[in-house]
């Protein structure tokens, strides 16, 4: 394998690791939000964050939502 190909693979792995870290952060924040008692006007935003977290998890883990 050429050095250029190895560098491209390393760059892709680095980007994928960054995405995985971002997903983990979103999931952690969403979990904390789900555990929190928030005012009624904040609940739609909390629920949206939880939905985004679920969608990211499904996409990154190759799972499905049962639909």
Q: What does the pLDDT profile of the chain (67 residues) look like in tens digits?
A: 899 999 999 999 999 989 888 888 878 887 787 787 888 888 888 888 788 877 877 766 655 444 4
CA distance 31 to 1: 42
CA distance 67 to 9: 34
What pLDDT score was predicted for residue 45?
83
What pLDDT score was predicted for residue 31?
79
Label each residue of the chain as H, E or C: CCHHHHHHHHHHHHHHHHHHHHHHHHHHHHHHHHHCCCCCCCHHHHHHHHHHHHHHHHHHHCCCCCC
The answer to whether 52 and 31 have CB atoms below 8 angstroms apart is no
């Amino acid at each position: 394998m050429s050095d250029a190909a190895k560098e491209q693979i390393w760059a892709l792995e680095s980007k994928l690791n960054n995405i995985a870290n971002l997903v983990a952060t979103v999931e952690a924040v969403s979990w904390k939000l789900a555990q929190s008692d928030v005012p009624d006007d904040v609940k739609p935003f909390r629920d949206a964050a939880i939905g985004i977290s679920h969608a990211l998890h499904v996409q990154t883990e190759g799972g499905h939502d049962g639909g």
